[in-house]
Structure 1
Amino acid sequence: MKSLATLFLAFVFSLNIFADTVSEKEKNALLKLYHATNGSQWKVKWDLSLSVSAWYGVHTEKGKVTAVYLSDNNLQGELPAEFFDLANLSVIDLHKNKLTGMLPQSIGNLKKLEVLNVSHNQLSGTIPETICDLKNLRDLELFKNNFSGTIPSEIGKLNQLQILCLFDNTLAGTIPDSLYKLSSLEILLLNNNQFSGNISPEILNFKALQNLSFFNNNFEGEIPKELEELENLSEMNLSYNKFKGSVSKNLIVLDAMNMTMFDENGKPYLLDAAKEKKSENSILN
């Protein structure tokens, strides 16, 4: 009986080892990441003699690498091309490191990706159009980098997106029409860039929006009244733009800087509060 029990335990153990083993291709992709980003200088290093599932920040499931959590771990250098062959990734969290270079078009290979956070690095170049092919993406955080260019025109294809944080870059251009289709958005932070143009009344589609910041850009025109109809909106900053006209007291109170704008000479001024229409009863009285 003891021998049978021993054999059974050995069999179960071997199954666990097998289930825990990732393919050589995925292991090599992680090794490329380790060496390309100066792994010997990471805060928490990988013990390459251990199985991949034991490596810090690497999550595996049924022999597949499904998540990489390496935030604030002193990664330095460019992400290797092989990293974007990890087709089973659902989470990439590499924020607060020293990554440089560009996000390649091959990021579109990661069809299962739900979270992409490479914020607070030194990444540059444009946001790849192929990022719009990641239909499962819920959280996209690229803030505090050196990204330039425009928001991809087809970003509206990301209909699961809840968080879009692009602040503190050098992005420019207008907000693409498709962005207003993202009715699931809860957080939209575009502050401290060089965006321009008008804000569409279609902002009304952001029914789930809780936090909105367009602070410190070059937006112009009037602030759409439809913002008042976003019942979940609790934080907002539209100041330090070139908006004109008047705005309701409700929106002024909601704005962190009380709607401070820049005039044509670059001098700050406050938008006027719109006069409230008197009700019919008050007129009769």
Structure 2
Amino acid sequence: MKNLLTLLLTVFASFSMMADVSISDKATLLKLYKSTNGENWTKKWDLSTPISTWYGVKLNGDKVISLDLSDNNLVGEIPSEISNLVDLQEINFHKNSITGTIPMSLENLKDLKVLDLSFNKITGVIPASICEMKNLQNLALYMNSITGALPEQIGNLQQLVTLAVFNNEIEGQIPSSLYKVKTLKVLLLNSNKLSGKLSNEVSNLKMLENFSLFENNMDGQIPFDLENLVNLKEMNISYNKFSGLTSKKLAILDTLNMTMVNEKGAMVLLNVSLDNSRPFVSED
């Protein structure tokens, strides 16, 4: 009897280990495979084997919780059906050749913590629906061809630690709600077409360690309040149209010592306010 019980438990454990995802989830994965030219991926899926063996797919029981297909030659568009994988916590499609736009349906992924679509060929705007993913911690959309403005509702992402959208065509002003995301440690907005002023509210980002606004069209006075960000280790806000004075502390912290672009398109250094150092010379 004891041996029979042991055998039954072993068989049950074996079936548990082979547990597959639901039919609908499998259909969604197959849709992704087809939409991104899976037959030409660098590391392909063997569709005849259990999903638990498919490259880049991580399961928790019978739930798909992670898709890591970075640098895997994905070509094509992300299907809107990906939002059917409601247990996803991570999507990492970094460094592929994905085209099309960011699916608005992603708002249904309430447990998503990481969304990395960086280094692709994505166009269109950042949909406001992304801001419904309240558990999102890492949003990486850099090195694409994204246009439009940052969503006004981006401040809803109160768990966000990293926002990296550099090297796109993003325009407009920095939404005021972004300054309320106090969990931010990395904020990379460089090499876009952002304009307007940098608000004094930037000092609310107490956890910020890396801030890049390099190569945009921002103007006005650089807030001295940046000095209050005691955790800030890296900063580059040069190659904008900021004017007026800056401080020695900020000028030293900035990678290019506050090199700006004047109305004539010439590179100039901002003057440093009166302190114990010699001011940087401005060519204005």
TM-score (norm 2): 0.95
Which aligned runs of 4 or more in structure 1 are off by greater than 6 angstroms?
A: none
Q: Report whether the alignment pairs 1:178 with 2:172.
A: no
Q: Which structure 2 residues correspond to residues 77-226 of structure 1 after superposition, within 5 A?
A: 77-226=76-225
Map of 2:75 onto structure 1? 76
Across the two proteins, how many residue pairs are aligned to each other?
Answer: 276
Whole-angstrom distance in 1 between the partners of 2:255 and 2:52: 45
Counterpart secondary structure, 1:60: strand
Aligned Cα RMSD in Å?
A: 1.3
Q: Report whether the alignment pairs 1:54 with 2:53.
A: yes
Alpha-carbon contact 2:82-2:106 (below 8 Å) kept: no
One-letter identity of the residue aligned with 1:106: S
Map of 2:32 onto structure 1? 33
Counterpart secondary structure, 2:124: strand
Q: Residues 219-261 of structure 1: CA distance to partner in whole angstroms, max 9, x if unpaired?
A: 0000000000100001000100000001111111111111000
Map of 1:6 onto structure 2? 7
Shift of 1:11: 2.2
Q: Residues 114-163 of structure 1: CA distance to partner in whole angstroms, max 9, x if unpaired?
A: 00000000000000000010000000000000000000001001000000
Map of 1:266 onto structure 2? 265
Unpaired stretches in structure 2, ≥5 consecutive residues: 278-284
Counterpart secondary structure, 2:73: coil
Counterpart secondary structure, 1:87: coil
Shift of 1:101: 0.0
Whole-angstrom distance in 1 between the partners of 2:124 and 2:244: 36
Unpaired stretches in structure 1, ≥5 consecutive residues: 279-285
Q: Report whether the alignment pairs 1:243 with 2:242.
A: yes
Whole-angstrom distance in 1 between the partners of 2:260 and 2:37: 45
Alpha-carbon contact 2:241-2:262 (below 8 Å) kept: yes
One-letter identity of the residue aligned with 1:144: M
Counterpart secondary structure, 2:218: strand
Counterpart secondary structure, 1:220: strand
One-letter identity of the residue aligned with 2:262: D
Percent of counterpart pairs with the same letter?
Answer: 47
One-letter identity of the residue aligned with 1:92: I
Alpha-carbon contact 2:80-2:104 (below 8 Å) kept: no
Shift of 1:21: 1.4
Whole-angstrom distance in 1 between the partners of 2:165 and 2:5: 60
Shift of 1:15: 2.9
Whole-angstrom distance in 2 between the partners of 1:8 and 1:208: 50
Whole-angstrom distance in 2 between the partners of 1:15 and 1:167: 44
Shift of 1:3: 4.2
